[in-house]
């Protein structure tokens, strides 16, 4: 895990972004700019981050399938989809970075600086200050700002899960304890990434199919990772971590891949065997098991990812937001879209309403 350039904004090891370049998601062209800025190019459906209620209404409009193609734009993104924040090279000052992003937007309809942290408690002050300066430099160059997704995390300031549960409402505690009864029917095995079992082709195939089951039932289909990505991730060569395997008797019903780095346990990927995983309340079982792991390893934060903010809020998570800086190539569309940007800030509206 040596020989990789140091990045700002990473809560993962510096070696981890290389996985994205070696095994990009389907339909992505990923790499580094001449100065070392991570970027990728792909088609982008404007409905991806649209307010869910608005998205559903649009999909029900007459002839949607015939005219919806106009909502797919070519896009150049600065960042990756596998890191929680946009990794930025240390050596480039913010104004230089913004100028390069503006000048090398790949001829795309959209240029998006993806997932800049916004006063993140998971990062040192230096990283947050750099991202603020980069955002200001981008705004000066014609980008506009969108609120990004809500990253859920739990500070590990409790001795065990009983203390953690005591902080929740009585109704939520009662509901969780009821759901946790299904854990009596499960066995759990946590393997370090790189364990020989994780290199077996049959195990990889089973894990990948469960990842696909979760991906298929999601409303958002943006970055479909391939089996080679997971094979390399499970090898442990790019980042240390754990594969937590849940079984009912001999049947694997779920797997959760987490990275361990510094003072953080970072929940990255989950796969479920449906409908059995739902019947066993595996989402909630895995949440509490990960908290137990975090306590046992003495970390300061459990980082729980981007999806399902309502559920994670009910489980006691805190949130920190990212922001995106967006530039639309066409001046007319730039003028039209700028006033509509609040429609694309679904997570912000959700968390503010909780």
Q: Which residues does the chain have with pLDDT short of 50? A: 1-3, 332
Query: What per-residue confidence (pLDDT) applies to 336?
Result: 55
Query: What per-residue confidence (pLDDT) applies to 49?
Result: 63
* CA atoms of 343 and 92, how far apart (whole Å): 33
> Where exactly are the structural domains of the chain?
7-150+320-353, 157-299
Q: Is the peptide bond between 275 and the residue preceding it cis, with omega within 30 degrees of 0?
A: yes
CATH tag, 157-299: 3.40.630.30
Is the pTM value of this prediction over 0.85? yes
Query: What per-residue confidence (pLDDT) applies to 180?
Result: 87
Burial class (CB in 10 A: 0-12, 13-18, 19+), 220: middle
* CA atoms of 243 and 255, how far apart (whole Å): 7
Query: What per-residue confidence (pLDDT) applies to 5?
Result: 75
């Amino acid at each position: 895990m040596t020989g990789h350039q140091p990045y700002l904004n990473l809560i993962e090891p510096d070696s981890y972004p290389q996985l994205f370049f070696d095994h990009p998601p389907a339909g992505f062209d990923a790499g580094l700019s001449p100065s070392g800025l991570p970027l990728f190019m792909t088609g982008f459906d404007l409905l991806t981050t649209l307010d869910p209620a608005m998205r559903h209404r649009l999909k029900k409009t007459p002839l949607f399938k015939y005219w919806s193609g106009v909502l797919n734009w070519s896009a150049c993104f600065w960042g990756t989809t596998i890191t929680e924040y946009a990794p930025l090279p240390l050596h480039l000052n913010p104004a230089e970075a913004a100028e390069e992003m503006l000048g090398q937007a790949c001829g795309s309809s959209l240029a998006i600086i993806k997932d800049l942290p916004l006063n993140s408690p998971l990062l040192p002050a230096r990283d947050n200050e750099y991202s603020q300066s980069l955002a200001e430099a981008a705004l000066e160059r014609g980008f506009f700002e969108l609120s990004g997704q809500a990253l859920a995390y739990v500070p590990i300031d409790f001795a065990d899960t009983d203390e953690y549960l005591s902080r929740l409402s009585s109704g939520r505690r009662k509901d969780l304890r009821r759901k946790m009864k299904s854990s009596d029917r499960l066995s759990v095995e946590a393997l370090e990434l790189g364990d020989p079992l994780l290199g077996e082709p049959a195990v990889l195939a089973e894990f990948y199919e469960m990842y696909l089951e979760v991906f298929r039932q999601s409303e958002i289909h943006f970055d479909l990772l391939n089996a080679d990505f997971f094979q390399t991730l499970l090898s442990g060569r790019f980042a240390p971590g754990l594969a937590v395997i849940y079984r009912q008797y001999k049947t694997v019903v779920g797997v959760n891949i987490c990275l361990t780095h510094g003072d953080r346990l970072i929940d990255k990927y989950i796969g479920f065997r449906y409908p059995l995983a739902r019947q066993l309340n595996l989402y909630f079982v895995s949440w509490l098991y990960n908290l137990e792991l975090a306590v046992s390893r003495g970390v300061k934060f459990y980082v729980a990812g981007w999806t399902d903010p309502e559920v994670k809020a009910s489980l006691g998570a805190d949130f920190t937001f990212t922001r995106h800086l967006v530039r639309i190539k066409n001046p007319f569309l730039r003028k039209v879209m700028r006033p509509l940007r609040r429609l694309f800030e679904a997570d912000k509206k959700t968390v503010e309403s909780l």
